[in-house]
């Protein structure tokens, strides 16, 4: 059984002030289909400018209230499927991203065909689609978290390629009901998303939700077939690296019984880190497009856990 949430049930971020789109019991296996929108990109293409767009940027479908969820719990979200439409968008928002200096002030938006699982980047270059969920999170205890920038402990615009079909998300619960939102599908994205925009695409995300009180997470964790991935957030890159590595260290020592020395040595040899998306983890001054802070990911291979146990 599944419940469909229309893209009309979208918001510009995460807040318990938003009217719930759905209330659901955890652990039932009931599937929720989150429809997402690409209207802002279509509007940009039609107008030939990114200025004064009327469409919502990076809308988040939801929120979904999870019965019984309380602050300190961990929300578990399994991404069951992601389906794409017949096209995506590649576009430059003036002044945004690492390529701003070389792109200049000239608007750019390209409609990208998606045909038989292939993303046609140019007339001669195509790549397999690798759909992912760019933005996911729960509501903060008070106020509203942006679906653009920055990224928060509850989640946000993380833009991680690992948030794909078959991945399990662990998210902090900061308020009764959790108020889950998902959105920002990418048809394909390079690690780090240097341009601030990947091949963005409308589509549908199918997910299930569960809840646990056995452990709490202080920021998002992703579980894939082969890895447990801890997100690091910080005002600088070094702060983010320290945050993510320390979270991974505590997981090994407190949850899986590694000694301090064993965790240190195994991490130095097997736990890789990478840059997350470009949204940053710190608030930026108004009227600036430059992100502040850093997002990193820290990857514990599951095989070391089975060997330890």
Considering the domain architecture, whether residues 38 and 102 belong to the same structural domain is answered as yes
Considering the domain architecture, whether residues 46 and 148 belong to the same structural domain is answered as yes
Overall average pLDDT of the 217-235 stretch: 97
Is pLDDT of 289 > 80?
A: no
Overall average pLDDT of the 142-157 stretch: 95
Q: What is the phi/psi pair of residue 141, to 5°?
A: -60, -35
Considering the domain architecture, whether residues 295 and 158 belong to the same structural domain is answered as no
pLDDT, tens digit (0-9, with 9 covering 90-100), for 105-127: 998 999 999 999 999 999 999 99
pLDDT, tens digit (0-9, with 9 covering 90-100), for 1-59: 899 999 999 999 999 999 999 999 999 999 999 999 999 999 999 998 888 899 999 99
Cβ-count burial of 103 within 10 angstroms (0-12 exposed, 13-18 middle, 19+ buried)? middle
Q: Which helix (H) or strand (E) holds 42?
A: helix 39-47
Characterize the bridge pairing of strands 126-128 and 118-120. antiparallel
Q: Structural domain of residue 135, as residue ranges? A: 2-225
The token pair at 229 is 């991935």
Considering the domain architecture, whether residues 167 and 280 belong to the same structural domain is answered as no
Considering the domain architecture, whether residues 212 and 245 belong to the same structural domain is answered as no
Overall average pLDDT of the 183-212 stretch: 94
Q: Are 143 and 131 in contact (CB under 8 A)?
A: no
Considering the domain architecture, whether residues 111 and 163 belong to the same structural domain is answered as yes
pLDDT for the residue numbered 51: 86
Q: With cut-offs at 50, 70 and 90, classify the pLDDT of residue 248.
A: very high
**Could you give the CA distance from residue 62 to residue 53 in angstroms, rounded to a whole number?**
22
Considering the domain architecture, whether residues 219 and 235 belong to the same structural domain is answered as no
Considering the domain architecture, whether residues 216 and 126 belong to the same structural domain is answered as yes
pLDDT for the residue numbered 155: 97
pLDDT, tens digit (0-9, with 9 covering 90-100), for 54-81: 999 999 999 999 999 999 999 999 999 9
- Between 151 and 286, the more confident residue is 151
Considering the domain architecture, whether residues 104 and 73 belong to the same structural domain is answered as yes
Quote the number of domains for the chain.
Answer: 2
Is pLDDT of 283 > 80?
A: no
CATH of the domain at 267: 3.10.28
Cis? peptide before 150, omega within 30° of 0? yes
- Between 287 and 20, the more confident residue is 20
**Could you give the CA distance from residue 198 to residue 84 in angstroms, rounded to a whole number?**
14
**Size (the chain), residues:** 309
Among 225, 242, 264, the domain-final residue is 225
Residue 174 contacts by C-beta under 8 Å, 6 or more apart in sequence?
71, 138, 139, 140, 141, 154
Q: Which of 99-103, 185-189, 236-240, 290-294 has the lowest mean pLDDT?
A: 290-294
| Cα dist from 201 to 22, 37, 82, 189, 290, whole Å | 24, 8, 11, 11, 23
pLDDT for the residue numbered 49: 86
Considering the domain architecture, whether residues 66 and 182 belong to the same structural domain is answered as yes
Q: Are 251 and 132 in contact (CB under 8 A)?
A: no
Overall average pLDDT of the 159-180 stretch: 98
Q: To the nearest whole percent, how much of the chain has pLDDT over 70? A: 97
**What is the Cα gyration radius of the chain?**
19
Considering the domain architecture, whether residues 65 and 163 belong to the same structural domain is answered as yes
Q: Which helix (H) or strand (E) holds 239?
A: helix 237-250
CATH of the domain at 14: 2.60.120.580
Kindly write down the DSSP assignment for every residue of 153-196, as one continuous string: TTEE----TTSBTT-EEEEE--STT--EEEEEEEEE--TT-TTS
The overall average pLDDT reported for the chain is: 94
> Quick one: which of 183, 243, 179 has its CA closest to 217?
243
Among 174, 192, 225, the domain-final residue is 225
Considering the domain architecture, whether residues 210 and 236 belong to the same structural domain is answered as no
The token pair at 173 is 């619960």
Among 205, 225, 245, the domain-final residue is 225
pTM as predicted: 0.95
């Amino acid at each position: 059984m599944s419940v469909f949430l229309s893209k009309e049930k979208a918001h510009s971020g995460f807040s318990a002030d938003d009217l719930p789109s759905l209330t659901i019991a955890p652990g039932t296996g009931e599937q929720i289909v989150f429809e997402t929108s690409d209207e802002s990109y279509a509007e940009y293409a039609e107008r030939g400018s990114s200025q004064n767009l009327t469409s919502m940027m990076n809308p988040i479908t939801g929120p979904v209230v999870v019965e019984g969820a309380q602050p300190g719990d961990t929300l578990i979200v399994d991404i069951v499927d992601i389906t794409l439409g017949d096209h995506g968008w590649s576009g430059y928002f003036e002044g945004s991203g690492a390529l701003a200096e070389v792109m200049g002030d000239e608007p750019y938006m390209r409609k990208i065909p998606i045909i038989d699982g292939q993303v046609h980047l140019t007339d001669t270059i195509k790549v397999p689609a690798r759909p992912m969920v760019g933005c996911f999170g729960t509501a903060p205890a008070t106020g509203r978290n942006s679906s653009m920038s920055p990224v928060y402990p509850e989640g946000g615009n993380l833009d991680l390629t690992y948030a794909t079909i078959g991945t399990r998300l662990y998210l902090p619960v900061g308020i009764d009901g959790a108020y889950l939102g998902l959105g920002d599908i990418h048809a394909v994205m390079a690690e780090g998303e240097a341009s601030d925009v990947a091949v963005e695409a409308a589509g549908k995300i199918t997910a299930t939700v569960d809840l646990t009180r056995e452990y709490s997470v202080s920021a998002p964790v992703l579980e894939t077939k082969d890895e447990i991935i801890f997100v690091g957030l910080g005002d600088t890159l070094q702060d983010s690296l320290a945050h993510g590595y320390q979270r991974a260290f505590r997981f090994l020592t407190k949850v899986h019984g590694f000694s301090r020395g064993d965790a240190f040595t195994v991490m130095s040899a097997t736990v890789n880190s990478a840059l997350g998306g470009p949204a940053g983890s710190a608030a930026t001054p108004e009227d600036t497009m430059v992100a502040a802070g850093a997002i990193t990911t820290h990857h514990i291979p599951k095989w070391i856990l089975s060997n330890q146990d």
